[in-house]
Chains A and B, each alone.
Chain A
Amino acid sequence: MRIAPDYSKEFEKIAEAYEKSGGKADNLLDKRIASIIISGDKVIGLNNVEGVEIEAGKQDLGVWAKIRILKGKKIAMPIHLCTGFLGKEGEQRINFEFIIEDGASVDFISHCSFPWSTKLTHKMIAIVKIGKNASMTYADAHFHSEEGGVTVISETHAIVDEKGRYSNTFELTRTRVGKLVVKMDVDLKEGAVANLESKVRGRSNDEISIKESLGLNGKNAHGIAKSTIVATDQTHARIINEAFGNAPYSKGHIECTEVTKGNQVDVATLPVLKVTNDLSELTHEASIGRINSKQLATLVAKGMSEEEATEFIIKGMLS
C-alpha cells in the first residue's frame, strides 16, 4: 500500500500505536494484505486485494467503511484494520459494514490503539452480513492509555445466513480499560454457527459493560457466547450473556467467568436463556470469585509466590 506523502508522518505515529497494541506494522504496507488505516477522522491508507472491495470515507467526527468480500472468494491473508487516534482529547466515530458474500471466507485482524489519549470517546458500530456458506472471523484487540480516560462504545450486529460461520473476539487486556461498553448480537439462520468471545482485564476504577446475545433463529443453528473478565482494584463490571432458542435443534451455550482480586471490585453477571421452541437446547455456566484456590495451591506448592501464581493463572485465562 502507498501512504500519501502528506500522511507519512501520521502513518509513523499510527504504526507506532499499532505495534503497541500487538500489530505488526509491516503488514500494513504489504501489498498482498488488504488493509485500511484510520487515524482520527481520516483514512490514511487503504489496500484492496483480489476478492476484497473496501470503500471508505470521512464522516462527522470519523470514518465509514464498507468492506465486501466477493462471492466464493477465499481470502488467504487476514485483512488488517488499524484504527488509531493521535490526539489527547476528542471523539471518533467509526461505522463499518461487512458484507461477506455467499461462499466467501475471510479473517480480520483489527487493532484499535489509543495510547496517547487522555480523554477520548471512540464509538464503533459494525454491521455484519455473512452469506450462505460464508465464513468470517474477526479478532479485535484494543490498546488504551494508562490514564483511564478512554471510553469505548462498540456495537456489532451480525446476521449469519444458512450454514454461514462467524467468530468475533474482543480483547482488552494489556492496558487500563477506562470505560467500555460492548454489545454484540447475532441472528443465526439455519445451520449457522457463531462464536462470540470477550476478554477484558479491569484495573483501578475501570468500568466494563458487556452484552453478548445469540439469536438462534434457524434450524440447527449453534452459538457460543463467552466472556472472561478479570476485575481488580475498584473495577465495576456488568456482564450479560443471552441466548434465545427459537428454532428446532438449535443449540446455544453462554459462559461468563469473572475473576476478582481485592475487596473493592463490583462485578455482576446475568445469564439470560429463553426458549420458544422446545427442541432448542440452551446451557450456561457462570462463576464469579477469587482465583480457584486449588489452582493457586498447585502452583504455590511448586515454589511460586501467590502473586506470581495469580498473574500466571490470569495471563492464561486471558490469552
Chain B
Amino acid sequence: MLELKDIHLEIDGKVILKKLNMKFEIGKRYAILGNNGTGKSTVANMIMGMEDYKPQSGKIYLDGVDITDLDMSKRAQMGITIAFQENVRFDGIRVLEYLTLGGKIKKPLDEIKSALKLVGLRDEYLKRYVDGSLSGGERKRIELASIYMLDPKYVILDEPDSGIDMMSIETINKFIDALIQRNIAVITITHREEIAINSDYAYLLCAGIVLKEGDPVEISKYYKSMCDVCEHPNEIHLVKESETI
C-alpha cells in the first residue's frame, strides 16, 4: 500500500497541499479530481519524488516503509512510476528506443507492438522520433505505451486524457484496465467524468486539501455540480477550515 499521511507542502513559501491523507492499494483504480491549480499534479510529483516537491511535514509510506526522503530513482526502483502531465520531447530518439529505454528493457518485439496497439498506435510509430514531429496526442499515447512497458506497482497518470480526443477516452479506460489486470495500482488525475467513474475510489481536491473522497460516481457528480461552477479561488489561505469539510 502507498500511503500519504498528513502532508503539508509549500513551494516558495506558498502552501500548496495541506493536511493531505490518501491511500492506494495495488490492483485498484483511483481517480483524483479537482479544478485547475488545486494541487493534483503537486500530489503526483511529490509521490514520484520530484525535486522541489518535498513535503515540509507528513510522510509517504510504501508498504509501511517511510520513503519520504528517498529520491526519485529509488522510488522508481521500488515500483512507482508516472506519466507526467506535460510530456517532454527527445531529439534523435526513436519510439522503439524510447519504449525500451535504449535496450534496458528487454522484451520481445511483439510485446512492444502490443503496447503501441493498446494505446491505438500502429507499428510504424516504432520508427518515428519522440521529438517535435509527434502531435501532442501521439506523444501522450507514446508515454502511456512506455508506462505499459515497465513493470511497476503504482502508476500515476497525470491527465492522460489531455490532448487526446473524446473518441479515445475508451482507449484510456482500456489502457487502465490492462494495468489493473497486471495487479498495478493506477492513480489517474483527470477532469473527465467518463474516466473517473470507472475507478474504485476517488479523491476530490480543492485548494490543496482533500475536499471529498469515496465513491467515484458520487464524487464525480459533486465535482460536476459544485466545482465546475465554483468560483472558489484556489488560494489556500482564502479557504476557511469550515468551508472545506
- Interface residues of chain A, those whose CB is within 8 Å of chain B, are 292-295, 297-306, 308, 312-313, 315-319
B90 to A305, Cβ gap below 8 A?
A: no
Given the known inter-chain contacts A312-B93, A315-B92, A316-B90, please indicate yes or no for A301 contacting B48, CB distance below 8 A. yes
Complexed CA–CA distance, A308 and B100 (Å): 13
Q: Is the interface of A mostly helix, strand, loop or mixed?
A: helix
Which chain A positions have C-beta within 8 A of B97? 316
A303 to B88, Cβ gap below 8 A?
A: no
Which chain A positions have C-beta within 8 A of B77? 303
Pick 5 A–B contacts, CB within 8 A, sort by A.
Answer: A294-B86, A295-B90, A308-B104, A315-B102, A316-B92
B86 to A302, Cβ gap below 8 A?
A: no
Given the known inter-chain contacts A301-B81, A302-B150, A304-B101, please indicate yes or no for A295 contacting B92, CB distance below 8 A. no
- Interface residues of chain B, those whose CB is within 8 Å of chain A, are 48, 50-51, 72-73, 76-77, 80-82, 84, 86-88, 90-93, 97, 101-102, 104, 146-147, 150
Least CB distance from A311 to B in Å reads: 8
Complexed CA–CA distance, A298 and B82 (Å): 8
The chain B residue with its CB closest to the CB of A305 is B73
Using a Cβ cutoff of 8 Å, how many contacts connect chains A and B?
64
Complexed CA–CA distance, A317 and B90 (Å): 8
- Residue from A298, A303, A315, A319 in contact with B87 in the complex, judged by beta carbons closer than 8 Å: A298
B146 to A301, Cβ gap below 8 A?
A: no
B88 to A298, Cβ gap below 8 A?
A: yes
Complexed CA–CA distance, A294 and B52 (Å): 12
B76 to A297, Cβ gap below 8 A?
A: no
Complexed CA–CA distance, A315 and B94 (Å): 11
Complexed CA–CA distance, A297 and B143 (Å): 13
Complexed CA–CA distance, A318 and B90 (Å): 11
Complexed CA–CA distance, A313 and B92 (Å): 8
Complexed CA–CA distance, A313 and B88 (Å): 12
A293, A315, A316: which has the most chain B beta carbons within 10 Å?
Answer: A316
Which chain A positions have C-beta within 8 A of B90? 295, 313, 316
Complexed CA–CA distance, A319 and B97 (Å): 13
Given the known inter-chain contacts A303-B76, A304-B101, A318-B92, please indicate yes or no for A297 contacting B50, CB distance below 8 A. yes
Complexed CA–CA distance, A305 and B102 (Å): 13
Q: Is the interface of B mostly helix, strand, loop or mixed?
A: loop
Least CB distance from B44 to A in Å reads: 10
Which chain A positions have C-beta within 8 A of B88? 292, 294-295, 298
B92 to A302, Cβ gap below 8 A?
A: no
Least CB distance from B46 to A in Å reads: 13
- Residue from A302, A305, A308, A313 in contact with B81 in the complex, judged by beta carbons closer than 8 Å: A302
Which chain A positions have C-beta within 8 A of B91? 316-317
B146 to A302, Cβ gap below 8 A?
A: yes
Which chain B positions have C-beta within 8 A of A302? 76, 81, 101, 146-147, 150
Q: Lowest 3 A-B CB distances belong to which pairs?
A: A316-B92, A316-B93, A319-B92
B50, B92, B146: which has the most chain A beta carbons within 10 Å?
Answer: B92
A298 to B92, Cβ gap below 8 A?
A: no
Which chain B positions have C-beta within 8 A of A294? 84, 86, 88
Complexed CA–CA distance, A308 and B73 (Å): 11
Complexed CA–CA distance, A312 and B92 (Å): 10
Which chain A positions have C-beta within 8 A of B87? 298
- Residue from B73, B104, B147 in contact with A300 in the complex, judged by beta carbons closer than 8 Å: B73
The chain B residue with its CB closest to the CB of A304 is B101
The chain B residue with its CB closest to the CB of A303 is B76
The chain A residue with its CB closest to the CB of B72 is A300
B72 to A317, Cβ gap below 8 A?
A: no
Least CB distance from B132 to A in Å reads: 12
Which chain A positions have C-beta within 8 A of B81? 301-303
Complexed CA–CA distance, A188 and B219 (Å): 64
The chain B residue with its CB closest to the CB of A257 is B91
Which chain A positions have C-beta within 8 A of B73? 300, 303-306
Which chain A positions have C-beta within 8 A of B93? 312-313, 315-316, 319
Which chain B positions have C-beta within 8 A of A312? 93, 101-102
Least CB distance from A295 to B in Å reads: 5
Complexed CA–CA distance, A303 and B90 (Å): 17
The chain B residue with its CB closest to the CB of A318 is B92
Complexed CA–CA distance, A297 and B48 (Å): 9
Which chain A positions have C-beta within 8 A of B76? 300-303
Least CB distance from A317 to B in Å reads: 5
Given the known inter-chain contacts A294-B84, A294-B86, A297-B72, please indicate yes or no for A304 contacting B104, CB distance below 8 A. yes
Least CB distance from B74 to A in Å reads: 10
Complexed CA–CA distance, A315 and B102 (Å): 10
Which chain B positions have C-beta within 8 A of A301? 48, 72, 76, 80-82, 84
